[in-house]
Amino acid sequence: MFSIDPITLLELCFLGLSIGFIAGLLGIGGGMLMVPFIMYFLGQLGTPPNITLKIAIATAMSTIVFTSIASVKAHHKKQAVRWDLVKGLAPGIVLGSLISSAGVFSIFKGTTLAYFFAVFVFFSATQLFINKKPKPSRQMPETPGMVLAGSTIGFMSGLVGAGGGFISVPFMVWCNVNIRNAVATSAALGFPIALANAFGYVASGWSIEGRPMGSIGFIWIPGMVLIAMCSVLTAPLGVKVAHTLPIKQLSRIFAVVLYGLSIYMFYQTISQN
């Protein structure tokens, strides 16, 4: 159905295996980690530079629909998912994701937002790395605050192609949620984030010219299918490792990933200006 050379096929599969493990380990979809690699593959196909980043972001996000299912099933078996928090955050997440992917994504470059977001991610990483304890009295907000937090997570995720774990995990830890529960809950939140954004990316990219063969809207289907098929194989392994690591070590691993995302965002923003 799709023509992909064997080397590219193997590279996409390896990317999927790696992302699946990371998703299970840290409760993040791995979308932002995939973006530069998918951009490389799209460049090899001759995709116009002006839409390459958007297609890479949309394709990366769409794979999280499948990765999150595999990851959350494994976390649920260990009774780590806070379903009460999923229920509270999900409505806002869907709303924010749709606003971002179906509307703002197609017209907004987001340079200022990208710089701000990179600083925020760097700050969150530092808080996790030094293991700064939140105030013991701090708790997750009531329903209005949960909807606002979910909307922010969904909106930001839609702009940068990430599953939201890089915001939701630090936010929940800041509210005194155990990091293992935060990681597991973030994995569950990745599904509504990815699904809502995927619909938005299809709608906003439907009439865009220059897309590679096999695209639906901004989503490159061959890349999505290969990455997703492989990521679901290794996500449970990542979950297993997450539940064996000491909490402090898990926090620092997550912090290092966040530092990498922050540096990547700075680099991408600077290189596009």
Could you report the per-residue pLDDT of 33-61, keeping only the tens digit for each?
787 788 888 888 888 877 887 888 889 88
Could you report the per-residue pLDDT of 216-243, keeping only the tens digit for each?
988 999 999 999 899 888 888 888 887 8
**Could you give the CA distance from residue 222 to residue 228 in angstroms, rounded to a whole number?**
10
Q: What tokens appear for 241 in the block?
A: 């490792």
141 φ/ψ angles, rounded to the nearest 5 degrees: -70, 170
C-beta separation of 64 from 190 below 8 A: yes
**Could you give the CA distance from residue 69 to residue 78 in angstroms, rounded to a whole number?**
15
- Per-position pLDDT tens, the chain of length 273: 456 778 888 988 998 898 888 777 776 666 667 877 888 888 888 888 778 878 888 898 888 888 788 788 888 888 889 999 999 999 998 898 888 777 666 665 545 556 766 777 787 778 667 766 667 778 898 989 999 999 988 887 777 666 677 788 888 988 999 888 998 898 888 888 888 888 888 888 888 888 888 889 889 999 999 998 998 888 888 888 878 878 677 778 778 877 887 787 777 667 766
Q: How many CB atoms lie within 10 A of CB 59?
A: 29
Q: Which residues contact 260 (CB under 8 A, 6 or more apart)?
A: 33
Phi-psi region of 46 (alpha: psi -120 to 50; beta: other; left: phi over 0): left
Q: What tokens appear for 246 in the block?
A: 């000491």
